[in-house]
Amino acid sequence: MIFSQLKIYQISHQLESELYLVVCQIPNHKFENACGQILRSSSSISANIVEGCGKQYYKKEFIRFLNNALGFSDETQHHLQVLFNKKLLAEKTFIQFAKRYKNLSVRILNLINCLKK
């Protein structure tokens, strides 16, 4: 299995690209740390999927990296909430991204559960 064929990779990579464009519109002097954190956590989702896919013949390792990806997806949702609470994201943008990242987390969890069987 090639990582780029995994739907969770495709979704995470697309979300990462879209989120980057939105976050880069936030003025640099405002909450630079929060913006950096959300970009790092979002990027770490797809990176962990790729690394886990490279270890797919070692099921426990693959699951471990998918668990990391799940954690980073949840962390990204937290950072979205922080940016929204600080009025750095519009409500519509926040809701759209939060919903999509929650869906991604569910998909990652479903793959983890499938691999555990």
80-113 pLDDT, tens digit per residue, is: 999 999 899 999 999 999 999 999 999 999 999 9
Closest listed residue to residue 116, CA positions, set 68, 62, 71: 62
CATH number, domain 3-116: 1.20.1440.60
What is the overall mean pLDDT for the chain? 92
From CA 45, how far away is CA 104, in angstroms rounded?
10
- Helix segments in the chain, DSSP class H: 7-23, 32-54, 59-85, 91-116
Per-residue model confidence (pLDDT) at position 30: 59
User: Which pLDDT does position 58 carry in this prediction?
Assistant: 85
Residue 3's pLDDT is 84
Domain segments of the chain: what residues?
A: 3-116
